[in-house]
Every structure is written in C-alpha cells, then in structure tokens.
Amino acid sequence: MGASLKPVRVVLVSPLYGGNVGSVCRAMMNMGLSDLVIAAPRDDFNTFDAVKWAYAARSIWDAHREYPTLAEAIADCHHVTGTSARDGLYRQVRCTPREWAPDFLSHAAAGPVALVMGPENNGLSNEDLALCTSLIRIPSTEAYPSLNLSHALMVCAYELYVASGAGDVAREAVPAATSEMRERMFAQWRSALLEIGFMESDKADHMMMAMRRIFSRGTLSEVDVRILLGVARQARWCATHGATPPPTNGE
C-alpha cells in the first residue's frame, strides 16, 4: 500500500490569474491531489477564468478554501514546503522535487502537510519562506528558469504521485522468450535473408551478429519472437514460390 496523498495541501499565495489556478486544479486532479487553499486572495482575482480553466477538475475549485494569511492557511500543518526559483539569503538550502517528495510524504503520515507556491510575478516573499520548514527548486534552463504556476505544480505533484507508489506502471504480462526460441528465430532469419538475396553466404556470420545486436537492445517476449518467426517464414515462402504466402501464426 503506497503513501496517502490525502493529507497533502496545495496552498497558492495571492495568485494573479484565474486561468492559472484553474489549470492548477487540473494538474492536481491528474496527480491525485484534492486539497486546494488560497491564502491572501486578491480582490481582483478572476473567478470566472478559474472555473473555466478548471474544466473537468471543477470539483477541486468548488471545494477550495480561502484564508486571509498564509499563517492561517497552514496553521494545522506538520510540515510546510515552499517553492522558489529565485536566489537570496534565505533561499540557499533547497532540493529538487524528486529529492524532496519521499521525505515530504513521510511527514504526511503524521497529518496535514502543505506545498506552498507564491504569486506568479514575484513568488514567495521572505516572510512567507520564514513559515516554511523546507524549500524546493525545480531545475530549469538558465535561459528561462521561470515556470508557469500550473506547470510548476504539475512537476511537484508528479513527483509526489510517483513517490507515493500510486504511479507504478503495469508491466507486460507476456513471458520473455527463452534462449531456445531466440535461436530458432535467428536460424529462420538467417535462412530468409540468404534466400531473398539480402546477404551472401560468406558475409552471413557478420550480418547475423549485427541482427543479434539489433534484437538484443530490449527484452523480446514470446509474442515478439513468434511474430519475427512468422515474418522470416513468410519471406522464405515468397522467395521460393514468388507469390503471396498463406497466413501463418508465426510457429
């Protein structure tokens, strides 16, 4: 059982644009997060854009909460992480989202934790950072280091999702081909390539070493080998009969 993402709170401090916040909602829903808080909301915030850009993730926007200050938004949190792309006196000790996510989730086992992001124009202030227990920075090119608010949230949310174990990708259930199956396949390909005139007999060993390298760059499954056997057999049939071969199951 993976770590729970339910205690993770996303806190946006004075966001400027409703569209960005709506996109944050979508990123949160993509990665299994649901608790959105806005701290120190602006009077001119465009709620209509937030709803429009949230689209199918509107439930996250509808359930969001607002607090007058960041301190109130995180008052019940056991651990608070801020994000910053800027350098400065209080911003030196940072880690990447990938390094941060497992430790952050370990704190989440004790109760609510918060990921805090500042306004789009200036990011978190030093006063905001003083309320954080850790700080992260998303690696990006020096030519353009600033990320859009929703993009930055997606990077962090993805790392949390993977670290929680929820993002494990199902592996192919088909068994890997045995050595005997692979050798049978190479024998068929050798015969086929000779019969269709792709290679001369005195160059066959050299060419087959190249073919082995090609087919050894990944694990071949039993299904893969059956298909390749079928291709070789049908090529040999065409070389002999000069006509469209009958269907084969690759065996």
- Nearest of 103, 61, 57, 55 to residue 78 by alpha carbon: 103
| pLDDT at site 204 | 92
Neighbour order of strands in the sheet with 79-83 = 65-67, 35-39, 8-13, 113-117, 79-83, 134-136
Phi, psi (5° rounding) for residue 45? -65, 135
Q: For the residues of 68-90, what is the DSSP string, one character each?
A: SSHHHHTTT-SEEEEE--S--TT
Q: Is 6 a residue whose pLDDT tops 80?
A: yes
| pLDDT at site 80 | 96
| pLDDT at site 145 | 83
CA dist 242 → 231, 236, 238 (Å): 15, 10, 5
Q: Which residue has the higher pLDDT, 172 or 62?
A: 62
Domains by residue range for the chain, with CATH: 8-163 (3.40.1280.10), 179-241 (1.10.8)
189-242 tens-digit pLDDT: 999 999 999 989 998 999 999 999 998 888 888 999 999 999 999 888 888 887
| pLDDT at site 86 | 64
Long-range contacts from 178-185, C-beta under 8 angstroms, 24+ separation: 178/222, 181/222, 181/225, 182/215, 182/220, 182/225, 184/225, 184/229, 185/215, 185/225, 185/228, 185/229, 185/232
Report residue 32 as tokens.
């299994």
Mean pLDDT on 118-133:
92
Q: Which residue has the higher pLDDT, 169 or 182?
A: 182
**This prediction's pTM:** 0.73
Residue with tokens 């008052």: 75
d(CA 199, CA 205): 10
| pLDDT at site 172 | 60
Mean pLDDT on 96-111:
94
Mean pLDDT on 161-180:
81
22-56 tens-digit pLDDT: 999 999 999 999 999 999 999 999 999 999 999 99
| pLDDT at site 53 | 97
| pLDDT at site 217 | 86
Amino acid at 218: G
| pLDDT at site 247 | 57
